[in-house]
Each structure stands twice: as C-alpha cells, then as structure tokens.
Structure 1
C-alpha cells in the first residue's frame, strides 16, 4: 500500500511540518491545542507506565524483606506457594483482563477507564502499605491486594497505547511509543534498584513509593485527559466471551506456574494431575472462547483484525519476542545472585541490589534505541527496524550461550547492551505498526489484544525457562553436590539426602538473596559440623562452585531456545509487508 505520512484529521503547530501532500496549511488554534494535548497524554501515560513497571519489579528484589516483615519463610514446603503468588499473581491478573478492559474501553471510553485504573492502582498500593496481618494471614492479604493492583495495572496497560494512538498523528506515533516504552523499561530498572534500597529501611516503603505517584497521576488524568477516540456506547458487552476467556486464561496460567513447582518425588509439577487438568481445562475454555467469538455479533476479541496482515505479523512477532525474553530477567538475576556475585566477594544478602546495578547495560541499550527506532520508523516504516531488532537479539542470546559461569564483566556488559539495543529497536516500531493498522473504533480492544498476547508470552517464557533449568539441574546437580558435600566433611547419609532435594528451593533461595546451603542443610546437621566445615559450606564460594556447571549447561539451553524464537520472530516481522496506516489507503 502507498506510504502516506499525513492524516487530514491532524494538524501540527510547526508550519514546516503542517503539510498534506506537500502543501502548507495554515496553523489553527485547534491545531495548536491538539499539539499541546498530545504532550499531556504522553506525559501522563508515561507516568502510568513508569509507576506500573516500577511496582512489577520492585517486588522481585524486595521479597526477602517483605516475607521477613510478615514472618513467613517463603522456602518452607507449606509456604512456597505464597512466594509464587506474590511474585506472579499480579502479572497473571493483568494478562487475563487486558482484552476485556480494552473492549470495555471502546464502549465506555478509554480515558474514563484509564483514570479508573490509576485510582485502583493507588488504592491497592495504600492497602499493601497498610497490610495488617502476620504469617499466613498477612501473606494472603498481600496476595489479595497485589491481585487488586493487577486490576488497576490492567486498565492502565490496555488503554495507554490506544490513548497515545488517538492523540498523536501517524507520523509521530513511533516516537511517542518509543518514549512511553522507555518509561516502562526505566521503571523496571528503578524497581530493581529502588527495591534493594527501600527494603533496607522497611519493607512497607516498597509499596508506599507508588502512592504519591498514583495520587498525582490520578488527579492529573482526571483533570487533563479528554476522550478523543471513537467510542460507541451502543455496543453490547460480550458476556460469554469475557467469561470463557478470563477463566480459561487464568486457569491455564496458574497451571503453568504450578508446573515449575515440585510434586511428590518429581522435581517439577508437570505430572501433577491438577496441573494437567488445569492446562487441559484452560485450553478447552479458550477453544470455546474462540467458537463464541465467531458466533456473537459484537465479540470481545476482534478476530477479524487478524485479517490485517500487519496486525497479525506484529502480534505474532511480539508474542515470540516475549517468549524469547520473558524469562531472561529471572535467569540473569539468578545467575548473578547465585553464582557470579558471591564468587566476586558479595554477601548473599547484598546480591539483589547489585544484581539490579549490574543489569543496567541492557536498560541503557533500550533507552538509546527505543525512541530513536520509533522516530525513524515513523518515516521509513517498521519492518526493517523490528526485523533488525530481533536479529540483534538473536546475536545477543547466542553470545550469552558462550559465556562461562564466572565471566569477565566487560563481555557480559557488551552482550547486555546488544540485547537492550535489539529489544529497543523492535518494541516501539512493532507496537506502532500494530496500532496504526486498526480502525480507530477498535484501538482499545487492539491495544488489549496486543498487551495480552505479549504478557501471555512472557509468563509462558518464565515457565519454560524455569522448567528447562530445573530439569537440567535435577539431572546433573545431585552427583556433583553429593561429591562436593562429602569432600567438605558432610556425613554420607546427610550428603545423599541434601543432594537429592528438589533444586527449586536452591534456585529460589539464590533468587531471593539467601545462601542456599543454609536452606538445604538441616539445622541439626549444621550445628554438629566442625566450625571449619560450617565456614566452608556457608561461605560465598561453596554453593556457586557446586551449582555452576549444571546451571550453566541448563542456561545455555534456554539461550538457544530464545535464539530460535528470535529467528522465527524476525521472519514473522519481515513478513508484515510495507508500511500501512488504516484510513490512508488509496
């Protein structure tokens, strides 16, 4: 289709840019007001993305302090599910509700529901800060408030992209998406760093930090944002579609999360009848959902949008991109916290903060490339940038697979920078292309569909990454750990018992910044060991040296898997065709 960079419904305040088909048009007061309003939408939606992404990752680093604060041992067999729900419940709820919220926004107004999301998010942050309970009751309260926070985040995520698309002309949307997504990635970095700092003072501060930002954003959105998109209040809500999709996806995602947990004598839960039943029930309900959407007159999930080539190719490549990188942050954090940082003299309890610091090159790469690729894609189209971004990501994963457990940091830094550049080159052009391709009246549901597809891919990635690593550790770690424990002076019976414990506990301990050996060796065994042996097994080098060979072998499999996903994503991205903006066809 022809590449048209203008839309008569938009005007620019700059005479040099205010052209349609090369002809200068006079600048009107309405055009100047529209020019100011688009920056209001960008700043407010950017604030919302920043707040939501800070909150998503601040938990990752702060979990040890939070669980100590409510007197819970998250690695105890009867309490490890609390860890799973606090960590992933927020994302599960958000992913499940995005499409429904996007569809509701097309009916009742994107700004109205975006404002509601800000308010819900702020209220839930206050409730998290005030969590009154201790022990199991406190953990359940935290989980409930986090799920509520996920509802607020769902309204924010499903509407921010659509609001930006409504406010910006087609030739500036890539730049706006790039800046908006920088805030999301920047929030991830600030969450990692802020969680490490605030948790030192008090765990409640981790949740309090979102409150003033939420109050400001809620008031600002209510006062300044206005409805500029197409809204049709006469549409009916697809009740059966909403119900089958929400329940089906929720059951499927919960089953996938529990699949990485031990079951009986198995190292993972994929043989658990409840997990199998959950996956089967979730897939059946999602199949019923698709059948419903083909039958109802006003569906929630606009399957007809997949007839648009760019929309289909963009969402497919976005899903594969999310599967490739969704579990990467967790794996790199475990690598840094459980192996590299202790081997370089860092205390286990300090590793969460330093892991965030050492991950900054990847964020820096995204910061550099995100807005630049978005701006350039406004002029030259998205295909080259999105495809090139996935090829850079492919190179990054292959280079990660070559690193030893105790790598030179400069090499790691450069690889992380390359990954960040690739991800930044892909994200904004791909999002812009998807949103440009749909009719204005479907931007809310299209935004929700895009976000749901990517969030589902990220959750699937985490389950797959953890499963690959856990299965690899289960096969290779026991004999290595048994010999290491024997050589350090641990009695034969205890060494055999410890070596055959599920590796999930060791992984989560490293992820939380605990010395895993303190969790694996029974206290009665530990206190009866000679002092020299205690110092050895509880030292900084013992566990990293034991786990490194088996862990790195498993990690390489995840990197190769991500490389394959990146190749397929690059092909899907290239197949999107030439630049296309809905409504500018000949």
Structure 2
C-alpha cells in the first residue's frame, strides 16, 4: 500500500503544484498567461485519453507491470520538465508525465483490490481516498514551500529521486495479478483516445468562447462520432475497452452516475468558493486559501473511517447520507451574510468535507467490489474516468454560469452544486433497491 500511495501522491500533487507555479513559469519562459495554461491542460489531457486503454492493457500484461512502467515514465517526464527551457519542451514533457500518471491512476484501484482481501477492501479504498485527499490538500502548500527556497524547476526535479526509490521498492512488493488471454484492440484504443480527447478539448474550446463556437461544436461532434463507432465495435466483446459489460451491472452503473454527479458538484464548489469568499465575503487571497483547507481536511479525516464502515454498511446508505450532508453544507455556504465570521465559514466547509468523505470511499469500494475480480483494471479505469468526467462537467457548468451571470455567478454555482449533490445522493440510494432485487433473485 505504501508503494501505491507514494506514486498516487506524486501524480495528484503534480496536478496542483504546477497551478501554483504558473506565474513564475510564465515569467521565466516569457510567455503569456493564456499560453501557460497549456502546461496544465497537456498533463490533464494526456491522462484522460489514456486512462481506459491503459486499464485494459493492465488486464493483458499485468497491473504491476503497467504501474511500474507508468511510474518510470512519470519520473523521466519529471526530469524532462525540470530541464525544459521553452514552452514547447515543457508541454511535451508534461504530456510524457501525463502518460505516466495515466499508468499510475488507471490501475491504482485494481492494485488496491489485489492487495487487500475482499473483507477488508473498504479499508484499502479508504486509505487510498485519504492519500488522494491529503495530496490534493497539501499541493499548494508544498508548491509554495519549494518556490520559497528554489526555482520552479525544483517542483518537478523533486519527483526524480522519490520516483527512482519507489520504482525499486514497488518492484519488490507490488502484487501480481491474473492475466487476460485477449490481446489489446489498438483500433478501439485509438477510438477511445479520440472520444475523450476531442470531448475534453471541445469542452475547453467552448468555455473559452471568443467566437469559437463552430470549432467547439466540430470537436464535440467528432468526439461523439468516435464514441459511437467505439460502442458499435465493442458492444458484443467479452472484455470491451469501454467497460460496457460492467455498466450493465446496475450497482456499478449507479455508482458511476453517483461519482459523476458528486465530482461535478465538488468542482463547481471549488471554482465558485474562492470568488464567493473574495467578492462577497471580502476576504483576501491568503485568507481564501486557508478557508478552503477545512474541506479536504474533512475528507482526509473521515475517509479511512468511512472505508472501514463500507465493509459492514451498504455504500448506498453511506453515500446518500454523505451527499445529503454535502448538499446541506453547500446550501449553508450559499446563504452566508457578507459579515460572516471565520468560524462560521470553517465549520460549513468542514461539513462539506465530511459529507464528501463519507461518499467517496464507500462509492469507490462499491465500484471496485461489484466488478468481477478479473475486470478490476476496467473498474479502476472507469473509476478514474468517472471522476475526471464529473470534474470536467463541473468546470464547464461553472464557466458557462460565470459567462451568463458575471455579477452573481458564484451564488448560482453553489446552488447548482447543491442540486448535483442531491442527484448523486438519489443515485446512490437507488443502489439499495438494486441490492435488494439481487438478493431476492
């Protein structure tokens, strides 16, 4: 579990530390802020397009092997980032980093399932959720600390010795998995990459506006066509690249819907709250950063406990209760008066984090546990894909709301997030009925 946690921490941290360093990188490379955004987008896009193909590859050649290759590529990409002297070189290096991170994230859940026995799977998933939450929470702090003592290149260089040490360690302790006898369908892999790549690029183009609606529409239409072609090609396969077989399992499909709704609500809130704190509650940037911390801290506090509970209590109950608490916390935040005190903000943010934590670990456990053991890679890849789809959907909704309502967009974003949290809770609760139907059958 330590070998798994170290690599996941590195991959999650590099999603956030680069955000903090963007102004420094832009100044050093003499590029505009708009150009510097590609340093973030290149990494995220590389992860998205490879998640499901790499998860399928893990079933063919082994999750351990994919994980080690991904970790090695991530480490080499980090070294290349540290040595980059131009925007082009840095973007290419970030793509390599993203490909490596996809290898880590796509089979991370499958390795957790092979590490923990079924009776303790919730504990393993809870620990994994704790690692992700803590890594996401400390990202800006770690970046600020490194930038205080060294140049931005150190943000990437620090991954190299840690990555090398973890490769040697992981090669000794990671579990082996059963292998599929089916070869990887490369055409399906290419269609999957086009589907998700064109979709996310189209969404990004759409949210930036500037008269590029036709281009965004073309990218989205091509993405949909690639997805339809992939579905037609894969719908009768025994082990499809897009896990259609798993989505036919009602509990798995409802868990995916729960995850998408919940992470969309999470992203909406995290994009709106900084504006809410600064424009409505009149807090400065430092205070805003500190006020955002109770949410991930709450997730980290409750995730291991929720994971252990998920081994005994249905995730449908835990998830719906957690998302109801999240919805209440978001609604309370949206009603704060302009002169709200710091303690009043902190306990509401902590309430959101506690609710989100009670959803996350049990939901992940259900997604991994409801899939056959030999499809653990596909389940883990779908888990990560659902999370990224929800986050991208939330970001898209936020961008559209801010464009349509520039004066009060953050308030509407919080209210939409409340609705999405409730929708996720209803999807979660529906799993209880499906479980009862399965037992009755």
Equivalent residue for 1:253?
A: 200
1:143-292 maps to which residues of 2 (within 5 A)?
143-200=91-148, 201-227=150-176, 229-232=177-180, 234-264=181-211, 269=212, 272-292=213-233
How far apart are residue 432 of structure 1 and its match? 0.5
Highest CA radius of gyration, 1 or 2? 1
Q: Does structure 2 retain, via aligned residues, the 8 Å contact 1:305–1:438?
A: yes
Cα displacement string for residues 553-584 of structure 1 (whole angstroms, at most 9, x for unaligned residues): 2111111111111111111101112797xxx9
Q: CA deviation at 1:239?
A: 2.3
Aligned length: 437
Q: Deviations over 1:527-566 (max 9, x none)?
A: xxxxxxxxxxxxxxxxxxxxxxx1xx21111111111111
* Unaligned residue ranges in structure 2 (runs of 5+): none
Question: Out of 386, 400, 412, which is 1:467 matched to?
Answer: 400
Distance 2:183 2:200 in 1: 28
Whether 1:44 and 2:15 are equivalent positions in the alignment is no
> Is 2:273 the partner of 1:332?
yes
Q: What RMSD, in angstroms, separates the aligned Cα atoms of the two structures?
A: 2.1
User: Which of 447, 460, 463 matches 2:380?
Assistant: 447
Contact 2:70 2:102 in 1 (8 A): yes
| Contact 1:381/1:579 (<8 A) preserved | no
- Equivalences for residues 390-401 of structure 1 within 5 A: 390-401=323-334
TM-score of the superposition, structure 2-length normalised? 0.93
Contact 1:193 1:357 in 2 (8 A): no
Aligned residue for 2:432, secondary structure, equals coil
Between the aligned partners of 2:403 and 2:44, the Cα distance in structure 1 is 22
User: TM-score, normalization: structure 1?
Assistant: 0.71
Q: 2-side partners of 1:355 and 1:121: how far apart?
A: 32
Q: CA deviation at 1:140?
A: 2.1
Q: What stretches of structure 1 of length at least 5 have no aligned partner?
A: 1-41, 75-79, 133-137, 474-549
Deviation at 1:53, TM superposition (A): 1.3
> Match for residue 571 of structure 1?
426
* Equivalent-residue separation in structure 1 for 2:45 and 2:223 (angstroms): 13
1:561 and 2:416 matched: yes
Identify which range, 384-393 or 397-406, moves more after superposition: 397-406
1:451–1:196 Cα change, 3 Å:
same
Quote the residue 1:54 is aligned against.
13
2:43 corresponds, among 61, 70, 90, to 90
Instruction: State the 1:245 CA deviation.
Output: 1.4
Look up the match of 1:28.
none
* Displacement after TM superposition at 1:384 (Å): 1.1
Distance 1:354 1:411, change over 3 A: closer
CA positional deviation for 1:274: 0.7
User: Cα distance, 1:289 vs. partner?
Assistant: 1.3
Structure 1 contact 238–298 (Cα < 8 Å) conserved: no
